[in-house]
Amino acid sequence: MRTLLLAAALIAAPAAAQDSPFIGEYSLAEGPDVGGGLLIRKDGRFQYMLAAGALDERAEGRWEARGNQICLTTEPKPVPPVMKKGPLIEVDGAVPTLLVTWPNGKGIPGVDFTIGFDSGDPAEDYTQVYGWTMPEDDERVPRWVEVREPIYDIFAPRYELTEADGGKLRVVIVPNDVGVVDFDNACVEKTERGVVLHRAEGDMRFARLGAE
């Protein structure tokens, strides 16, 4: 009876939960200025993290064997961050030309933007926590705005400004699952000292912890 129960458990267990040479803990081997890790667990789950300057990434989910490699799928599927137009608010007693904030109204610095006008060259710069305001000697009225958050590559279609906007715009970044990587069958291959993770942004090499 015990043998039958054990056999039934093995049949019911997912393939990923069985022995695999990939199971173990790995450290990112991409240089001194970045850190990260990958954990392949016996229960068919994985955990991933990366820290590179201002960029922080993480993910967890399931893995499954495919030939001589395994493939990772993030679960639950992350909801990407989005940008949306928000009501104008004052900063230090004035409404800036462009303000990018979190939903709580806190300003976000370092967001790249391009502002277009009826004539002349567009204005290009990046935001501060207090936004960005047109120079006093420039009387042109902004007609459209493009914004892009460069660290996590968050962007939105061009905002066309109407007369009701008065040449001003507030963009709200709704973070949702910002920083959670959506691995969709991203595959991992063995190397001499660890593994390499193939992803759309490029290959990432990991060394197995404890390997000599």
Concatenated DSSP letters of 114-162:
EEE-SSSPPEEEE-BTTBB---TT------EEEEEETTTTEE-PPEEP-
DSSP run (H or E) holding 81: none
Has residue 4 got a pLDDT over 70? no
- What pLDDT digit, counting tens, does each position of 84-115 carry? 999 999 999 999 999 999 999 999 999 999 99
Query: Would you call 12 helix, strand, or coil by DSSP?
Result: helix
Return d(Cα 123, Cα 134) in angstroms, integer: 9
Mean per-residue pLDDT, 178-188 = 97
Cα(148)–Cα(171) distance, rounded to whole angstroms?
11
pLDDT tens, residue by residue, 41-97: 999 999 999 999 999 999 999 999 999 999 999 999 999 999 999 999 999 999 999
Q: What's the whole-number mean pLDDT along residues 176-182? A: 97
Tokens (6 digits) for 181: 């990587």
Percentage of the chain beyond pLDDT 90 is 85
Query: To the nearest whole number, what is the mean pLDDT of the chain?
Result: 91
**DSSP one-letter code for 3:** H
For residues 154-193, one letter each, b for 16 or more C-beta atoms within 10 angstroms of the residue's C-beta and e for the rest, the string is: bebeebebeeebebbbbbbbeeebbbbbebeebbbeeeee
pLDDT confidence tier of residue 6, bands split at 50, 70 and 90: very low
pLDDT at 3 over 50: no
d(C-alpha 182, C-alpha 129), whole Å? 29
Bigger pLDDT: 191 or 210? 191
* Pick from 28-37, 88-97, 134-143: least confident: 28-37
SS3 16: helix
Q: State the pLDDT at residue 212.
A: 46
Helix, strand and coil in the chain, % to nearest 5 = 10, 45, 45
> Over 50: is that where the pLDDT of 7 sits?
no
Taking residues 123-152, report their average pLDDT.
97
pLDDT exceeds cutoff 90 at 2:
no
**Cα–Cα distance, 105 to 97 (Å, whole number):** 15
When pLDDT is cut at 50, 70 and 90, the band that residue 30 belongs to is: confident
Phi, psi of 57 (to 5 degrees): -125, 155
What is the b/e burial string over 7-20, where b = at least 16 CB atoms within 10 angstroms of the residue's CB?
Answer: eeeeeeeeebbeeb
pLDDT recorded at residue 204: 95
Residue 5 has pLDDT above 60, yes or no: no
| 158-185: average pLDDT | 97
